[in-house]
Amino acid sequence: MIGPSGSSTEFGWNTSMEEPAGPDGRHRKVSPVSSVLKATRILHSFNAVTPCQSLRQIATRTGIPRTTAHGLCVALVQAEMLEPVPGRGYRLGPAFIGLGGQVIERVGLLDAAKDVGKRFVRFGQVEAHLAQLVGGWIVYLDRTSSLWSLPTDVHMGSRVLAHTTDCGRAALAALAPEEAWRRVAVACEAEYRPVPERQALETDLAEVRRRGFATAPVQRSGRASVGAAITNRAAVPVGGVSISAPVDAMRRREVSDELVKDLLLVATTIGRRLPHLME
């Protein structure tokens, strides 16, 4: 419900915003649509690398004036989309647990992938990751590993630019080139990250499409990984699955061939298990 001043009162919090005073000393109202867009920019500025930000960091990363950013953060805290961290600033709030859970359940990846990741556990020091494609990002949903205690740079629930991961590149390669480029550009701009050179990106995705899987450079932990796209019954990519193993193991042809074969089988199996209603 919109109150008489133009502020939302349905949930008991005020979203009426003002920009800082201009040269004439006057404060100007910000339209509700403008406020929503700025609020989404604030939410998108949080990621796995910067899960907590001060007000100064938020204003710098989003380009939103500090006074306006503060008002938006207060409203987002009231909506439980942000929560304050004493002495540090803000982080994403509990509202996203329920919202994100609805999206994950609707897509059905977790249910479709139940138990199939265990196929990789028979190999020592191998781990598998399940991720969902969301726009130009990959969101990691699950991890399966052998009995070894494995170091990892991947955290469940983290959102990463799709073109920087093997399973993300595989998923992007399953899209039309124009759509893949659009998603990558939008995601990079949202995170204020450099947009990759278009021809290089499209060449890479074309090679991934030709092979049927993507490979990633050696990670800091001395591991190599391979990723494959998960597509639904309409051949639309909804996510990806990746496996990583020690570089020495991946260099052994019999091991890498077997892992890639299993990877493609798992990705296909998950895709076939997805709900019919997905589009």
Under the banding of pLDDT at 50, 70 and 90, the label for residue 154 is low
- Would you state the pLDDT for residue 16? 45
- Would you state the pLDDT for residue 14? 42
Q: What is the C-alpha separation between 146 and 144, in angstroms, rounded? A: 7
- In the CATH scheme, what is the homologous superfamily, with its name and number, of domain 99-273? GAF domain (3.30.450.40)
Instruction: For residues 119-132, give the mean pLDDT.
Output: 74
Instruction: For residues 94-106, give the mean pLDDT.
Output: 64
227's tokens: 């990723």
Mean pLDDT is highest, among 111-120, 153-162, 195-204, for 195-204
pLDDT in tens, 191-246: 878 999 999 999 999 999 999 999 876 565 678 889 999 999 889 999 999 988 88
Chain-centre distance of CA 11, in angstroms? Answer: 28
**CATH number for the segment(s) 17-92:** 1.10.10.10
User: How is the chain split into domains, by residue range?
Assistant: 17-92, 99-273
pLDDT in tens, 254-279: 678 888 888 899 899 898 888 764 44
- Would you state the pLDDT for residue 278? 43
Report whether 72 contacts 17 (CB < 8 A). yes
- Would you state the pLDDT for residue 75? 92
pLDDT in tens, 22-49: 445 554 555 556 788 888 889 888 876 7
- Would you state the pLDDT for residue 151? 46
| Helix residue ranges, H only, the chain | 32-44, 55-62, 66-78, 95-107, 109-112, 166-173, 177-190, 198-211, 247-250, 253-273
- Would you state the pLDDT for residue 49? 72
Q: Which of 116-120, 148-152, 154-158 has the lowest mean pLDDT?
A: 148-152
- Would you state the pLDDT for residue 67? 92
Under the banding of pLDDT at 50, 70 and 90, the label for residue 140 is confident
Q: What is the C-alpha separation between 21 and 44, in angstroms, rounded? A: 26
Which residues contact residue 16 at a Cβ distance below 8 angstroms, ignoring those fewer than 6 apart?
A: 3, 5, 6, 7, 29
Instruction: For residues 49-55, give the mean pLDDT.
Output: 86
Report whether 109 contacts 270 (CB < 8 A). yes
> Is the model's pLDDT at 189 over the cut of 80?
yes
> Is the model's pLDDT at 103 over the cut of 90?
no
